[in-house]
Structure 1
Amino acid sequence: MTYPFNGLVIGQAGRATRALLDRLLDEANTDFPTWVALVLLSDADIPENELVGRLAERLKVDRAEAALTVARLTQEGLTGPGLTLTQEGRARFQHISDGVDTIAALLYGDLSAEDKQTAGRVLAAVTARAEAELAA
């Protein structure tokens, strides 16, 4: 059986996958912008101005909206001084990250390594092209 490769099927896959992530985030009492900020901070502390810029770019929002997300991190006790993840912030990141791994295993686990490599390469190329188009 052949399957169409078009914007509709890509969009459906993206929306279905995002719905699973949104369900996980709801269970963790975390909105998507906060999750993106936690991911960015999971590897290293980032100066506030840089974090605001990176969030604005990734979320396709203005800097003011991204700054509100950064402020919420501290209000919720997820970050401390210098935007360092607190124990609660690290625990929340790990809980959601583990859930994302579970979702990925459910959706992609039985695909061949070659199919996963191809999908990863194609989606990275499409993302880069879309980002370039948005920047133009």
Structure 2
Amino acid sequence: MKACCGFGHRTVLANIDDSLYAAVINAVDAGYNMFYTGAMGEFDTRFSSAVRKAKVRYPQIKLICVKPYFTSNLNTNKEYYCSLYDNIIIPPEIIGIHYKAAIKARNQWMVDHCDLIICYVIRSYGGATQAVRYACNQGKHIINLGE
């Protein structure tokens, strides 16, 4: 199973929806069928929307929400989350990590468990930038829609 994940800034300053959808479709056509999202900011919302749109054409693909830690709204809004994602996971490897380090650990887990990163990175700082740097150091294929 080939996996892809998305990383991007909390705020997206450009209209990337068409190019993001095209990147997802190209990934599916290349054999990617698992898509991981952190579901935390505007890019993640757009990435998830692009994958859900692609699921209309390719119902076999999966959109997985990877949370860095448990929050009560996962129980309170369980039906809502289940309507958006095929699965919601908290990687066992990061359970118990201090919450301030958990997002970085979750991002590294996502990179370690995928082959392709679709991202929107235009700044030299922040969590998305750190995740993409880590992916680059791991030799992952990266498509940056911010370039």
- Per the TM superposition, whether the score is higher than 0.5 is no
More helix by proportion, 1 or 2? Answer: 1
Q: How does the TM-score come out when normalised to structure 1?
A: 0.31
TM normalised by structure 2 equals 0.29
Q: Select the structure of larger CA radius of gyration.
A: 1
Greater strand fraction, Structure 1 or Structure 2? 2
